């Protein structure tokens, strides 16, 4: 395993330090942590509900890349594929609370759920009002290696975008948590892998696939999915994933949003080809896609593959997805 | 080679089609080509010098990802690692000319230089005023497999950003070409590879490196560089590249801009760690870095590696680098 790093144990603090140094007008480190908080001029004056997310590292630009005006107030980075500690999350909550409470956006992984819950208790002891929403958009499997229920994956970034826009517009904590849960309920994702990710401290891929095989239904921590099959042309892959996802929506009328997400080791070129096939097929099915996005948004280290997220979206959500933000990664 | 594609020969048109479908408010295809032109509301009313770039595909988001208000007016995509044809470039020129002439930004590769030159002649026969600037920022080698003189690599995106900002502000064609040449003269890049790129139609990496080796001075089309050595920690790599690049500047006072560019197969995590080391070392050397950027800006398919670009930048250039743009990839 060749990597451009120094010591394996310094990966996360050095990454966060690099991110902050290259974006000083956007974010700053919360002292003594690997969490970052907004550092833009508007932050102090906006007086909004704080929005905090976080999780293990290795999914960049998630979450630190989504901190900024109109999206997250702060993000907490754990070690690679490892939940941040409760005290780090607690520091992030304190850094963003402006007296109107704080919403926590948590991906459904057992470690994250537990540690964000402990941080919530610590903050509540300080009389900071906290609500939590748990993203579980991955429809490929029920329960998983590190999860009770469905996993939280790429749909998280759409939840962060909509909730962040609503928080900026002045929505209160209770309504914000309700909105977030509604968005989660309408957000469905499946991912495929051509090659598993290599965790730097481990040094080899999490699982092996033959030269012509892909895995359907992977998670973002090398969790295996529901089937291994021969690779197919992009348009067939698109049609299969769309079929599975659209089955989750009983009402196929109204507006939809689409995210084609690269897992880290798959080129933008392939992501656009896949997106072209996805949008052609949805168009054939008369699905009204009003927002779409393509890119490495929620990665899994160097995993090769893509995920497809489809959201049945209220028109007000489409508007919020399109609003400009000042972040590194959106 | 597993890839999310359909037919190899359809890669570029399908990629461009996906990019346009997912960003209809920003760009549209120029009919009968794989070139894209601005489609935002401001385009028609701005009446500025047109700025056109392009080149072989496989470097995404370059160039189509930089089309938008404040950057390129149009971008022309050739086949993978292959220059676009003169007639495609000519169509792009016609699509952006608003009577004030068109500036062509060409990366120094023999095929690109030749084809942009032919397109220039075709446009001049239509009485469209054209000027060309050729980016040759790669200081690692003189002449190369596909180039006379130095290669044009990642610094191209900084040239496009500054020239695009100046064009938006109303600068005339003659001054714009002069500005562009001044920026090129102050922009220096070296890249390293941990693993060569695989061209889809070829199916295997362009060259082989041992498990602990890296190549110094690679180009963006699998051109070999000036040395193969054992991999070193990120901070040593940063110091070596900085040493070589800063030797090119006789005057080390004033403001500088820095770009840490991922080659496609290297994680954002590693890019930020490397950027952290770069900025620490430049700070130790009392170099005044006023702008820095990190990310996959000018890639080489799935090549693993990074390039470092340093520009001695007039403060007006720093301002132009920081101005907001509406593009997919900046």
Residue A66: pLDDT above 90?
Answer: yes
Predicted local distance difference test score (pLDDT) of residue B316: 98
Q: Name the residue facing B22 among A267, A293, A301 (closest C-beta).
A: A293
Of B327, B328, B299, B298, the residue nearest B165 (C-alpha): B327
CA–CA separation, B297 and A300 (whole Å): 20
Q: B102-107 and B50-57: which strand pairing? A: parallel
Cβ-based contacts of A235 with chain B (< 8 Å): 6
Residue A147: pLDDT above 90?
Answer: no
Predicted local distance difference test score (pLDDT) of residue A144: 81
pLDDT tens, position by position, B64-102: 999 999 999 999 999 999 999 999 999 999 999 999 999
Predicted local distance difference test score (pLDDT) of residue B314: 95
Coil, strand or helix at A242: helix
The average pLDDT across B136-162 equals 94
Residue B145: pLDDT above 90?
Answer: no
Predicted local distance difference test score (pLDDT) of residue A145: 81
For domain A187-326, say whether CATH 1.10.3720.10 is its number: no
**What's the Cα-to-Cα distance from A273 to each of A18, A214, A262, rounded to whole Å?**
32, 17, 12
Band of pLDDT at residue A146, cut at 50, 70 and 90 = confident
Nearest CA in chain B to A270: B4
Nearest CA in chain A to B79: A269
pLDDT tens, position by position, B107-121: 999 999 999 999 999
Share of chain A above pLDDT 70, in %: 100
Predicted local distance difference test score (pLDDT) of residue A44: 87
The average pLDDT across A136-157 equals 92
Asked if B214 lies within 8 A of A302 by C-beta distance, the reply is no
Asked if B6 lies within 8 A of A234 by C-beta distance, the reply is yes
Cβ-based contacts of B238 with chain A (< 8 Å): none
Band of pLDDT at residue A1, cut at 50, 70 and 90 = confident
Chain A to chain B, count of Cβ pairs less than 8 Å apart? 164
The CATH classification of domain B11-185, taken from the options 3.60.70.12, 3.40.50.1980, 3.30.9.10, 3.40.50.10440: 3.40.50.10440
Which run of H or of E encompasses A104?
strand A102-107
- Please list the helix, strand and coil fractions of chain B in percent, rounded to the nearest 5, in that order: 35, 25, 40
Residue extents of the structural domains in chain B: 11-185, 187-326
* Test the B interface: residue of A68, A273, A283 with most B CBs within 10 Å: A273
**What's the Cα-to-Cα distance from B324 to each of B45, B161, B162, B192, rounded to whole Å?**
19, 10, 11, 30
**What's the Cα-to-Cα distance from A211 to each of A194, B1, B140, rounded to whole Å?**
9, 7, 36
Predicted local distance difference test score (pLDDT) of residue A209: 97
CB B187 within 8 A of CB B150: no
pTM above 0.95, yes or no: yes
Coil, strand or helix at A282: helix
Q: B304-312 and B255-262: which strand pairing? A: antiparallel
The average pLDDT across B11-36 equals 97
Asked if A270 lies within 8 A of B5 by C-beta distance, the reply is yes
Min CA distance, A131 vs chain B (Å)? 30
Min CA distance, A74 vs chain B (Å)? 18
Predicted local distance difference test score (pLDDT) of residue A87: 97
CB B52 within 8 A of CB B176: no
pLDDT tens, position by position, A244-264: 999 999 999 999 999 999 999
Q: At what angle do helices A315-322 and A155-168 cross, to 10 degrees?
A: 90
Cβ-based contacts of B17 with chain A (< 8 Å): 272, 276
Band of pLDDT at residue B296, cut at 50, 70 and 90 = very high
pLDDT tens, position by position, A222-232: 999 999 999 99
Report ipTM for this prediction. Answer: 0.97
Predicted local distance difference test score (pLDDT) of residue A142: 87
Residue B123: pLDDT above 90?
Answer: yes
CB proximity list for B198: less than 8 A, separation 6 or greater: B1, B204, B205, B206, B301, B302
pLDDT tens, position by position, A160-201: 999 999 999 999 999 999 999 999 999 999 999 999 999 999
pLDDT tens, position by position, B223-280: 999 999 999 999 999 999 999 999 999 999 999 999 999 999 999 999 999 999 999 9
Predicted local distance difference test score (pLDDT) of residue B260: 98
What are the structure tokens assigned to A148, written together? Answer: 């009770």
- Transcribe B273-292 into DSSP letters: HHHHHHHHHHHHTT-EEEEE
- pLDDT mean across residues, chain B: 97
Active-site residue among B59, B63, B195, B204?
B59
pLDDT tens, position by position, B199-226: 999 999 999 999 999 999 999 999 999 9
Predicted local distance difference test score (pLDDT) of residue B144: 81
* Test the B interface: residue of A1, A2, A3, A4 with most B CBs within 10 Å: A4
């Amino acid at each position: 395993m060749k990597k451009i790093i120094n010591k394996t144990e310094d990966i996360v603090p050095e990454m966060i330090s690099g991110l902050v140094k290259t974006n000083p007008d956007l974010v700053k480190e919360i002292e003594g942590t690997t969490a970052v908080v907004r550092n833009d001029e508007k932050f102090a004056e906006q007086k909004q509900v704080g929005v905090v997310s976080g999780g293990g590292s290795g999914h960049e630009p998630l979450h630190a890349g989504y901190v900024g005006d109109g999206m997250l107030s702060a993000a907490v980075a754990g070690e690679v594929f490892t939940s941040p500690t409760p005290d780090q999350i607690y520091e992030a909550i304190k850094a963003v609370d402006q007296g109107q409470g704080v919403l926590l956006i948590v991906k459904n992984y057992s470690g994250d759920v537990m540690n964000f819950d402990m941080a919530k208790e610590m903050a509540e002891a300080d009389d900071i009002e906290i609500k939590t929403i748990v993203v579980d958009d991955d429809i490929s499997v029920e329960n998983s290696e590190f999860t009770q229920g469905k996993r939280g994956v790429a749909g998280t970034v759409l939840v962060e975008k909509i909730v962040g826009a609503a928080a900026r517009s002045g929505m209160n904590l209770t309504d914000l948590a309700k909105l977030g849960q509604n968005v989660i309920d309408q957000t469905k994702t499946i991912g495929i892998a051509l090659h598993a990710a290599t965790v730097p401290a481990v040094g080899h891929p999490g699982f092996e696939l033959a030269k012509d095989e892909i895995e359907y239904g992977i998670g973002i921590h090398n969790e295996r999915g529901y089937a291994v099959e021969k690779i197919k042309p992009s348009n067939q892959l698109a049609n299969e994933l769309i079929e599975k996802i659209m089955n989750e929506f009983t009402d196929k009328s109204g507006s939809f949003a689409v995210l084609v997400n690269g897992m880290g080791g798959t080129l933008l070129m392939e992501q656009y080809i896949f997106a072209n096939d996805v949008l052609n097929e949805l168009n054939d099915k008369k699905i009204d896609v009003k927002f779409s996005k393509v890119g490495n948004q929620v990665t899994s280290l160097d995993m090769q593959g893509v995920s497809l997220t489809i959201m049945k979206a209220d028109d007000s959500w489409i508007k919020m997805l399109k609003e400009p933000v000042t972040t590194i990664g959106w």
